[in-house]
Amino acid sequence: MAATDITPPSRFAEARKRFVKTGFGSPLAAITSVLVFTLLAYIAWGFLDWAAFRAVWSKEDVALCGDHSGACWSVIDARHRLILFGTYPYEEHWRSTLAAVAIVVTVLVSCLPAMWRATRLAVLWIVGFASYYLLMEGSLLGLAQVTTDGWGGLSLTLFLFASVVLLGMPMGLGLALMRRSEMPVVRWFAVAIIDTVRSLPLVTTLFTAAVVAPLFLPSWLEGDKIWRVIFAFALFFGAYQAEVFRGGFQAIPKGQFEAGKALGISYWSILGRIVLPQVFRHALPSTINMIVVTFKETAIVTIIGFFDILASGKTAFGTAQWSPYYIEVFLFVAAIYWVFIFSLGQYGEYLKSRMAISEH
Amino acid sequence: MATAEELRRRAKRRSFTIQSAILILIVLAVWGAVSNAQYNLTRLNMTSGFSFLERDTGWDYSFSLIERSISDRYYYTLFAGLLNTLFVGFICIITTTFFGFIIGTLRDARHPALNFAANVYVQIFRNIPLILQAIFLYAILIHMGGPRQALNIGDVAFLSGRGMMLPGLNIAPAAAVGLLLTSIAIAIGLIIKKTSLWRGIAIWFGGTIVLSLLAAMVLRPEGEGVFSIPALAGLRFRGGISVPIELLALIVSITLYGSAYIAEIVRGGLAQVPRGLIEAGQALGLSNMSIWSRIKVPMALRSIIPPLGNQWIFMMKATTIGIAIGFSDLFYITVNSISQSGQTLELILILMLTFLAINYSIAFFTNWLNARLQLKEH
């Protein structure tokens, strides 16, 4: 008697079957498959050949780069410190490294679901941000002081990113709440700010903060250029985030507010214990998206004269010796951006699918 | 125990106090800012007002669609910058939408190779900052050799470090602007007439090409051909349309980046089309192509248009990164004007109001388009 095979087909076999069926089901599909895969393989091979097989890796071998048939990574070997740390003092680079690690760890830890409480996240981000600042600035820890003008490279990019998110998140929540207010003056004020900031290109907003704002501000309020720019950037983040939160608020039935009010619960308790936890949940995927966009947009500050990783990269090939190898530097900087942005984006996709499942 | 009447009155009083406090704070802040600005301006010996717009600029910039010289007035130069911004934005809106639809369709396709290729494209270009792509592309272009080492594309187009030479119609710039406006008018007319999607696109495209050819035949200079094809003459190219590398780098980088975003929007829209409709199409024996063009795209457009409109607005705003590669868009012109004339507040105000106007026009257009496309509920 033949035993019936009751083991489920393996996932791989299923995927292979589907691949063959859709990719080689008809002559046209098969030809397309072969053509596209050949083209992709050709491009990938050409790139690998240039970037790896025929490349020169160490800065001692820079003389070999002359014929230039492959990539010359010597420029990265020689100049990576400049790209990563900008003009930060050479002996203090370990501080800049640690500070950057602090920000990355903060972001990584806040990806854990166990951290998703408002207080925990707030504490985590403030601690992460504070350790960054203490390490970079140094005077409070008894280290040599480095003012914000000396910050640069990847650390500056991460700093801008972290401070914008940290400052912009409460701004966004505040604006979203003001926009829902029953008091018309408060509502109009929020609408005016949100709509104006959202209509303007980010460069314009940052430029206004960096160059124009000192005309309006009294000298005691002027502050450093970097703080004004961070404030304006956070306002940009807040204005967009307010709309994200607004979407979250709209997903919550009005009955919940009314039930809370009927039970005599105060406004802030209704908000903090009933409404906001659900709003955050609904707004989570769009919030991650906003954070990804913010990371990408930090590159804009190079226009208004900050020494972020894009600007320090441009400086790295600025000398006569290294200027032919600008492609390698740009690829290196692009790869760094790509790793950060791609991982954050994939995390957002994962959260979206996770929430789509739990909703059923 | 307070009565309900009393509680209501108390709430009203509270709301009044808070709102007046906020109003007073806003007024104080504005007053403080204005008086500070006045104080700073008198200290710097500046006069505020818009009379500077009538002055000559005295400086040149990289690109303009209209005649320019260093003795132009400020308002004329700002207008040239605005035209550049609108020009780049408009071209990018068309190219990104076109490529975005193709790539988004491939992302949605069931063919694994096409799907994979489109996915690779989106993941690469969406996850690198636009400004980095623009500067990178500009650096590559500027390192290309002079016209003699130009990259020859089928003997009709040439790419070199000086720019791209494209074959074009033999017409004056003013006629080209007229053609562009006519083309936009045809598009709007077709949308108003509610012509069906594909026929509308065919009429618009065909009509624009026929009109352009006609215009070139009638308006061309004596004794020259309908087409103007670039050719190397000595150390430079003659004939054709010359696209400077700043413009080229800006358009190509915004197109690469924006198409990846629009592809995701299109994919999302196509994925939302109910399966039943597609299966109904299959049951009727429609080909995959017909299912795509007659069922999926028309249905998906309804959910695609609102985010697409936001993306168009983003594209208009993204032209401001032109300043990083020296393209003279409105922001570049404004920044230059500020450093040359010192009229910071007035110029920033003009810049902001212009962008508000552009954004609201696009938002108005997409809302109108969306309303046209909505299904009538029965």
- Cβ separation B335–A334 shorter than 8 A: no
Mean pLDDT of A340-351: 89
Determine if residue A142 is left, alpha or beta; phi over 0 gives left, psi from -120 to 50 gives alpha, anything else beta: left
Report residue A175's pLDDT band, with 50, 70 and 90 as the boundaries. very high
Mean pLDDT of A20-40: 86
d(CA A313, CA A153): 8
Beta pairing partners, A215 = none
- Cβ separation A327–B140 shorter than 8 A: yes
Report residue B375's pLDDT band, with 50, 70 and 90 as the boundaries. low
Give the orientation angle of helix A153-179 with respect to helix A118-137, to 10 degrees.
Answer: 140
Q: CB of B30 within 8 Å of any CB in chain A? A: no
Structure tokens given for A153:
């490279």
Q: What are phi and psi of B127, to 5 degrees?
A: -105, 15
d(CA B11, CA B356): 37
Report residue A337's pLDDT band, with 50, 70 and 90 as the boundaries. very high
pLDDT of residue B376: 58
Average pLDDT over chain A, rounded to an integer: 85
Which among B329, B324, B317 has a CA at the least distance from the CA of B358?
A: B317
Neighbours of A149 (CB within 10 A): 12
| In contact, A88 and A149? CB cutoff 8 Å | no
Chain A neighbors of B116, CB-CB under 8 A: 36, 40
Beta pairing partners, B169 = B227
- Helix H or strand E segment including A254: helix A254-262
Share of chain A above pLDDT 70, in %: 98
**Chain B: residue nearest A36 by CA?**
B113
Q: What is the pLDDT of residues A189-247, one digit of tens each?
A: 999 999 889 889 999 999 988 888 888 887 777 778 888 999 999 999 999 999 999 98
- Helices marked H in A86-152 — which ranges? 93-109, 118-137
In the predicted model, is pLDDT for residue B220 greater than 80? no
Q: How far is CA A349 from CA A289, A342, B43, in A?
A: 9, 10, 55
In the predicted model, is pLDDT for residue B157 greater than 90? no
The contacts of residue A8 (CB under 8 Å, 6+ apart) are none
Mutate to test the interface with B, among A28, A330, A341 (most CBs of B within 10 A): A330
Q: A78-95+152-354 is classed in which CATH architecture?
A: Orthogonal Bundle (1.10)
**Chain A: residue nearest B139 by CA?**
A326
Share of chain B above pLDDT 70, in %: 97
- The one-letter amino acid code at B159 reads L
| In contact, B365 and B121? CB cutoff 8 Å | no
Grouping H, G, I as helix, E, B as strand and the rest as coil, residue A56 is: strand
pLDDT of residue B92: 93
pLDDT of residue A358: 65
Neighbours of B233 (CB within 10 A): 10
Chain A neighbors of B103, CB-CB under 8 A: none
- Cβ separation B111–A23 shorter than 8 A: yes
Q: CB of B359 within 8 Å of any CB in chain A? A: yes
Buried/exposed code over A279-296 (b: 16+ C-beta within 10 A; e: otherwise):
bbebbbbbbbbbbbebbb
Report residue A343's pLDDT band, with 50, 70 and 90 as the boundaries. very high
**Chain B: residue nearest A329 by CA?**
B136
The contacts of residue B40 (CB under 8 Å, 6+ apart) are A214, A215
pLDDT of residue B71: 78
In the predicted model, is pLDDT for residue A360 greater than 60? no
pLDDT of residue B216: 79
Report residue B280's pLDDT band, with 50, 70 and 90 as the boundaries. very high
- The helix/strand count (H/E) of chain A reads as 16, 0
| In contact, A52 and A44? CB cutoff 8 Å | no
Report residue B146's pLDDT band, with 50, 70 and 90 as the boundaries. confident
pLDDT of residue A229: 92
- Cβ separation B36–A334 shorter than 8 A: no
- Cβ separation B22–A203 shorter than 8 A: no
d(CA A235, CA A172): 8
Q: What pTM value is reported for the model?
A: 0.88
Structure tokens given for A65:
């780069």
Burial of B13 (0-12, 13-18, 19+ CB in 10 A): exposed
d(CA B270, CA B315): 22
Neighbours of B3 (CB within 10 A): 8
Q: What is the pLDDT of residues A64-117, one digit of tens each?
A: 777 667 788 888 888 888 888 888 888 788 888 888 888 889 888 888 888 777
**Of A199, A204, A302, Cβ closest to residue B320:** A204
The residue with greater pLDDT, A143 or B326, is B326
**Of B33, B114, B132, Cβ closest to residue A310:** B132
- The one-letter amino acid code at B66 reads I
d(CA B143, CA B160): 9
Grouping H, G, I as helix, E, B as strand and the rest as coil, residue B284 is: coil
Average pLDDT over chain B, rounded to an integer: 85
Chain B neighbors of A189, CB-CB under 8 A: 22, 26
| In contact, B107 and B126? CB cutoff 8 Å | no
Q: Which residue has the tokens 């306002």?
A: A235
- Cβ separation A189–B22 shorter than 8 A: yes
Mutate to test the interface with B, among A17, A179, A199, A206 (most CBs of B within 10 A): A199
Neighbours of A198 (CB within 10 A): 16
The residue with greater pLDDT, B88 or A212, is B88
**Of B23, B114, B345, Cβ closest to residue A36:** B114
Tell me what ipTM this predicted complex has: 0.88
- The one-letter amino acid code at A202 reads L
Q: State how beta strands B236-238 and B231-233 pair.
A: antiparallel
Q: State how beta strands B231-233 and B227-228 pair.
A: unpaired
Structure tokens given for A232:
């304006």
Buried/exposed code over A153-189 (b: 16+ C-beta within 10 A; e: otherwise):
bbbbbbbbbbbbbbbbbebbbebbbbbebeeebbeeb
Grouping H, G, I as helix, E, B as strand and the rest as coil, residue B236 is: strand
Please tell me the least confidently modeled range out of B20-24, B272-276, B360-364, B370-374. B370-374
- Cβ separation A337–B323 shorter than 8 A: no
Max distance between CA atoms of chain A, in angstroms, equals: 94
Chain A neighbors of B18, CB-CB under 8 A: 183, 186
**Chain B: residue nearest A31 by CA?**
B113
Mean pLDDT of A31-40: 91
| In contact, A299 and A310? CB cutoff 8 Å | yes
Burial of A128 (0-12, 13-18, 19+ CB in 10 A): buried
Q: CB of B135 within 8 Å of any CB in chain A? A: yes
The residue with greater pLDDT, B109 or A176, is A176
Q: CB of B32 within 8 Å of any CB in chain A? A: yes
**Of A19, A215, A302, Cβ closest to residue B345:** A215
- Helix H or strand E segment including B277: helix B275-283
Q: Which residue has the tokens 């960054």?
A: A132
Share of chain A above pLDDT 90, in %: 23
- Cβ separation A326–B127 shorter than 8 A: no
Report residue B1's pLDDT band, with 50, 70 and 90 as the boundaries. low
d(CA B169, CA B180): 13
Report residue B66's pLDDT band, with 50, 70 and 90 as the boundaries. confident
In the predicted model, is pLDDT for residue A136 greater than 60? yes
Q: CB of B23 within 8 Å of any CB in chain A? A: yes
| In contact, A211 and A217? CB cutoff 8 Å | no
The contacts of residue B88 (CB under 8 Å, 6+ apart) are B247, B250, B251, B254, B319, B322, B327, B329
pLDDT of residue B222: 67
Structure tokens given for A7:
């083991």
Mean pLDDT of B133-151: 85
Q: What is the pLDDT of residues B305-325, one digit of tens each?
A: 888 988 999 999 999 999 999
Report residue B49's pLDDT band, with 50, 70 and 90 as the boundaries. confident
| In contact, B112 and A33? CB cutoff 8 Å | yes
pLDDT of residue A242: 93
DSSP B222: T
Nearest chain B CA: its distance from A3 CA (Å): 36
Grouping H, G, I as helix, E, B as strand and the rest as coil, residue B73 is: strand
